[in-house]
Amino acid sequence: MQSKIKALAKERNAIILAHNYQPPEIQDLADMCGDSLELSRKAAQTDAEVIVFCGVHFMAETASILSPDKKVLLPRLDAGCLMADMITAEALQMKIASLPPMPVVTYVNSTADVKALSTICCTSANVVQVVNSLPQKEMLCTPDRNLAMYAASKTGKKIHVWDGYCPTHEWLTKEDVAAAREAHPNAVFLAHPECRPEIVDMADVVASTSGMLRHVAQAKEEEFIIGTELGILHPMQKAAPGKKLYPASKKMTCNNMKKISLEDVLKSLEEMSGEVKVPEEIRIPALGAVQAMINLKI
Ligand code: 13P
Ligand code: SF4
């Protein structure tokens, strides 16, 4: 199946991108795996005519925003993001109208029409630098309240928080982390900034998925408790073969990230189906926010 997909991808001049949470067989098939920031950079730079995005809907939209002349395929159009669904453009418009003028920093885990109303995007890898890059001391950060609170704690800026969250990360409790620490007293605890503030406070390292991968591969320590979606364990074990990895909680799985199968990728390439295309009237303002982030080169 994998060689059939690869041959067809070559024929179609397609690149296959996969997020670090995708099922192992999808990550092993992909031309490139990464976190949201790396994947959006790759989507902006590739020479391929077709981008097969193995991730969730907002990621394919970001690729379409950056590469309007390419065909962007999401092999399962129903792979959404529960956090991205916690904000709409209409609700954001009302929130903006209720506040004094201030920049809107929007996590890439959001729909294109929400990005279109935003000043700049950020990812979990660069939120602190994005917030610090703005001259203003006060801003609205959407849609992830946990990421916003993390940015506020790191920058000292006044951040208005949108009340969204990622259920997969919200499930991780202090009790889970305490139990994992007790079971593995020598392990380093890594948390994703989508986790609740009390979990982030307990962490030795706070990083995006690729930041976690790099840390575990380079660290001198041998044992790690991983506070993010379970899919990360596959690339992490590949990047750090001899090291011991323990999930902070086995509940941390995102069903949307597990929807795409090899059969779906093959079908999508055969039929060129599952296209995600952002209409120009939304793409242009959304591009402003995504490009502002990419231009920071962080
Ligand atoms: P990153 O890979 O950018 O850390 O994103 C985490 C995530 O939740 C993606 O859906
Ligand atoms: Fe959305 Fe969370 Fe799933 Fe990422 S892990 S796609 S933020 S629900």
Per-residue confidence (pLDDT) for residue 62, from 0 to 100 = 94
Find the mean pLDDT for residues 30-59.
90
Confidence bin at 4 (pLDDT 50/70/90): very high
Per-residue confidence (pLDDT) for residue 158, from 0 to 100 = 98
Which residue did the predictor score with more confidence, 38 or 85? Answer: 85
- pLDDT tens digits, one per residue of 244-268: 999 999 999 999 999 999 999 999 9
Average pLDDT, the chain: 96
Enumerate residues lining ligand 2, CB below 6 A.
56, 81-83, 109, 166, 168, 229, 254, 256-257
- pLDDT tens digits, one per residue of 133-147: 999 999 999 999 999
- What are the backbone dihedrals phi and psi of residue 173, each rounded to the nearest 5 degrees, phi first? -110, 165
Q: What percentage of the chain exceeds 70 in pLDDT? A: 100
What is the three-class DSSP state of 28?
helix
Ligand 2 atom 4: the closest Cα is on which residue?
Answer: 81
209 Cα nearest atom in ligand 1 = 4
Confidence bin at 45 (pLDDT 50/70/90): confident
- pLDDT tens digits, one per residue of 184-222: 999 999 999 999 999 999 999 999 998 999 999 999 999
Q: How far is the CA of 125 from the centre of ligand 1 (A)?
A: 9
Q: How far is the CA of 134 from the centre of ligand 1 (A)?
A: 23
Per-residue confidence (pLDDT) for residue 36, from 0 to 100 = 82
**Ligand 1 pocket, mutate which of 35, 166, 298 (most atoms under 8 A from CB):** 35
The verdict on the CB of residue 208 being under 6 Å from ligand 1 is yes
Q: How far is the CA of 100 from the centre of ligand 1 (A)?
A: 30
Per-residue confidence (pLDDT) for residue 6, from 0 to 100 = 96
Per-residue confidence (pLDDT) for residue 39, from 0 to 100 = 87
Contact present, 154 and 197 (Cβ < 8 Å): no
Q: How far is the CA of 36 from the centre of ligand 1 (A)?
A: 6
Strands (E), the chain: 14-19, 32-34, 50-54, 71-73, 104-107, 120-122, 138-142, 158-161, 188-191, 205-206, 223-227, 244-247
The verdict on the CB of residue 40 being under 6 Å from ligand 1 is no
Q: What percentage of the chain exceeds 90 in pLDDT? A: 94
55 Cα nearest atom in ligand 2 = 6
Q: How far is the CA of 120 from the centre of ligand 1 (A)?
A: 17
81 Cα nearest atom in ligand 1 = 10
Q: How far is the CA of 49 from the centre of ligand 2 (A)?
A: 27
Per-residue confidence (pLDDT) for residue 274, from 0 to 100 = 98
Per-residue confidence (pLDDT) for residue 44, from 0 to 100 = 82
3-state secondary structure 86-129: HCCHHHHHHHHHHCCCCCEEEECCCCHHHHCCCCEEECCCCHHH
Indicate whether 297 pLDDT > 80: no
The verdict on the CB of residue 20 being under 6 Å from ligand 1 is yes
Per-residue confidence (pLDDT) for residue 37, from 0 to 100 = 77
> What counts of helices (H) and strands (E) characterise the chain?
15, 12
* Long-range CB contact pairs, 268-273, < 8 A, 24+: 268/52, 268/73, 268/74, 268/75, 269/5, 269/8, 269/9, 269/12, 269/14, 269/50, 269/52, 269/73, 270/8, 272/12, 272/50, 272/71, 272/73, 273/73
Indicate whether 31 pLDDT > 90: yes
Q: What is the pTM of this model?
A: 0.94
Per-residue confidence (pLDDT) for residue 28, from 0 to 100 = 96
Per-residue confidence (pLDDT) for residue 65, from 0 to 100 = 94
Confidence bin at 103 (pLDDT 50/70/90): very high
The one-character DSSP state at 258 is G
Contact present, 266 and 5 (Cβ < 8 Å): yes
Exposure string for 234-270, b = 16+ CB within 10 A, e = fewer: bbbeeebeebebbbbbeebebebbbbbbbebbbebbe
Contact present, 118 and 292 (Cβ < 8 Å): no
Indicate whether 298 pLDDT > 80: no
Q: How far is CA 242 from CA 93, 118, 194, 223, in A?
A: 50, 43, 28, 10
Which residue did the predictor score with more confidence, 226 or 46? Answer: 226
The verdict on the CB of residue 36 being under 6 Å from ligand 1 is yes
Per-residue confidence (pLDDT) for residue 133, from 0 to 100 = 97
Per-residue confidence (pLDDT) for residue 8, from 0 to 100 = 97
Please list the helix, strand and coil fractions of the chain in percent, rounded to the nearest 5, in that order. 45, 15, 35
